[in-house]
Structure 1
Amino acid sequence: MDIISHLTRTVTPAVLGDDQSPAKQSLLEQFYAIFAARLADQDTYGRFANENIARDDQGFYDRVWTDGSHRDQISRELAAKHNVDATATRGLIAMAAPLAFHEIKSLAGSTPVPQFLNDNLSSYQHHIPAWASAVIPAGMVAAAPAGERISDTTSMAPLQHEEEKSGSFMKALLPIIGLIILGALAWALLRGCQDNPEPVATPVVVEEQPVTDEAAVAVAAAEPASLRLAMGEGNTLYACRMNVGDEALQTTVMSALSNAYGDEADKCRADVDDSFTTDMAAAPQLAAILDIFKEVSDASMIIKGDNIVVNSADAGVLSQLVSDLQAAVPAGMTVEAEGPLDLQGEIDNSLVAAETAVDNLGENPDPRDVARALSLQVINFELDKAFIPDVNKPFLDRAAQIITEVPDMELMIIGHTDNLASDAYNMELSRDRAEAVKEYLVSQGVDASKLTTKGMGESDPIADNSTEQGRFRNRRIEFTVYDEAAMNSDGIAVGDMDMNADMDPDLNPLDSNNDDMMPDSDDTGVNATMPDPDLNPLDNNNDDVLPDSDDPSQGTALDPAAQ
């Protein structure tokens, strides 16, 4: 396992962005090795083993090295070696630490991280400078061969010496030649003693040869990053989702969306996870692609890998859209119109994809990965019904077993519909269908307290509602990790779930619960008389009916809008 190469490929672009400075890239490579050596210490890693480290937690670096003098030495030495400003160096490694931590955990899989790093020490040990012995566990720095410089920051100019007399070169070679002859004789004797001697070129240890292939396999197994868009009436952005492998790609895509759609781009949700690739073939021409697509009402577009699939209820508009986009995409990409809906094929393929995702979860899976895998299945309820189809029951049986076995697994089951009925009717139907899934899982042994449900009706589409294919995609059941849905307020999706769900009144004016993801402007009728919580996750008071952006104190004082 080439750990440094993997981190260079996945973390460095997220840290440096458009800055392709070779000096900074080299600096980060050396830091990754020092960082890995530090995490190889069981006591150090044990401090964070049960923490949920955020990928943007720049204070994490300070908690890995609690000794300020050690942090200063790391920054100072790396800055001097790579000729990078010391302040900039500290910022780079503070950004890199939490990202590298997540990547290393992912590479380790079910193996404890310290064990994984010690088992693979040879893959990064040669990147560790001698001076780092003061800031990492003993024995992690490779012994320097005789004559090799012992520090990356200390000049080790060769000592002056007299010219060797002629003939001394051959004298120096004689012992070496003797050793070669002895070695050849020993090899011949050993080979003669074997009944089935190995070929001369056969290495003694073959298990070590394909080390670097593991990282390549991991990259190949990642799902292509994707962007899914739908336009509504009047050229408004109707729905937007992205699945990307890192924050760098998320930033790239969001920048293009903001340029094309302005403030409407804020409704786009992202699932950022290393199960997706960190590049997108369409990225170089994404601005041009969006400029074309945004001019078409009631249309959908899916960008994934080397392919773009578009759809529209108007055949003429669809044909022109395909032609225009094909002229704009990078070489090697294809643009095609979506074919007719193959209902049974979609159901069958979804179950195969869900089964495959579950097969790949491994031991002690991340609850987010479980939620994402369970969300892949299509549960095609009958029209106006909320009964689980028989074809889905075997997979739900397997899901029940996983939910039961994974500790601290709490999931929210979310129902969605298309828009072919009234808002109130769709809301009730989506709740009933989410409840039906919960009841089935409970009947298969899942603790009911581990599951909650939510109905979203037609309010959270992922496709257009003008085509049969789009309506099919909008009718869905999704799973998300409940605690993140309740506490995360950054708008990022986990398992395709809006994180702002817990603080907002519901769409139904006839009930008394606060249970939806929509702005307060949806709260009319009975609920308008109820105290409405603000969106600040840092306080516990119901002090206004406006978003926190109006509150300069961010909840530490009574919001002036409430007075």
Structure 2
Amino acid sequence: MDLIALLKDRVSPLVLQNHTTFLTEKSSALSAFYPFLLSALKENPKLISFFQNNLNPRIADLFGSNSGLKDQLLAHLGGPVPVEELEQTINKSIAPTLSLLGDQAGTQDEQGIVQFIQQHASSIQAALPQWSTSLLSGLGLGAVASAASNLGSSVTSKVNATTSSVQQNIPEKPKKGILWPIIGLLILVGLIALLLRACDQKKAAPDAAPAAPSAAEASTESAALHLKTDGQGQVESCEVSIADAGFVDVLQNHIKTLFTKSQPCNANTDAKFQAALLDQKALPDVLKHVQGVPNVDLSWVDNKLTIQAPDQAQAQQLADKVKSLVPNLQVVAGALQGVDVNQTVNNSIDQAKKALSDLTAGGTVGAEDIAKALNLQIINFSSASSAIPDSNKQVLDQAAALLTKAPDVKLNVKGFTDSTGKAEANKVLSQKRAQAVADYLISKGAKSDQLTAVGYGQENPVADNATKEGQFKNRRIEFEVVNTQTGEQQKVDAQH
């Protein structure tokens, strides 16, 4: 199978898998774009490294400031497809094309990929549309630019030969009538030299086309990726925070390609995050090493890549494999810290019971004392459930009895989740859980105006969501004192 046919067979279905309109037209556009892109990469290998460093490369990067040529390309490719929709489709094809080229060439090195493209030069040339020639020439690339350069060299050579011949026949003291033609000829030679120099500069322009973002565009928070595999080595969860929405699409495509089963990535594309991960061009290769490895937690934040596995040796082995792929990252390996959930929950309930019993025996009860005692307990809700476990009801019964004796005490019941799943659904679930706790206390004698339920979802984590232990800590109910005179809220830590 030739290279163009391979791209049609593997990349096009990946790009078009979620499309429902203009499928035939988009497929034809991709088929015409592949030989154009390969020709550009062959003539300007630096574009390969640039595109590899961006998981969301765009054709706008290929044309730089020459948006007119980009518009011409889309006009040739588009037909009835809306221009914006077509451009998005073409953009999505670049990253998987580079990935396939690297896989087929057996290297991600730009020179190795160029050599691989050159091996398929005949099939690429045969598939190259006629209109591509003028666009490649406009970029200073391809056969047309080369031919123009050869033509210029030929003209220069002939002019030099003519000039030399004329100079050899010029008498030592030329007549005035002969001098002006000679001066004109020399001026013509100078103009041709300037023209050829401008062509060379134009040919080199694409090397500098991809520009780095300015310092003013720098974002305040680092981009981050958290990914976990289940017991079968499939993706259990994926969380990404990055300003580039296109990155999320490409990331998900890579995950779908590599893993038999996977969960959609929960993405936060707020502009406050940076638009790229450090060394993100290596992400596809890092995912290949994670593929099929059970119970791995991968956290990619700022300049640090943390890999955790059930066994320290297993985590270190995986870290050693990816270190060379991410030269600018600190790769840290560690064993997952197991959490005995039942024991931890039971201990917390016992502590809360004792603290509430001490308050009952002490006489006067303050709002802060009740909140501190309640914050000792862990209410371990079942997955996606707001039903209060029976073991926690004993604690809430004690608290409700105290609240009936202290009618001026007002508390906020705050619900939180971990970051697994969609943020909107987590917020709804956290609200239901907080409300369930408030409703239970009210059913046991507390006044309705003493309790206000608020759900915060995955906001304000107290631990790293990249680990199971961190997720367990983030799934929580907190009690907060409300000042009955000022209405101000006061966060209260648990007693220890």
For the aligned pair, the TM-score class normalised by the smaller chain equals: 0.3 to 0.5
RCO (CA 8 Å, sep 6+): is it higher in 1 or 2? 2
Q: TM-score, normalised by structure 2?
A: 0.37
Specify the structure having the higher radius of gyration (Cα): 2
**Greater helix share, structure number:** 2
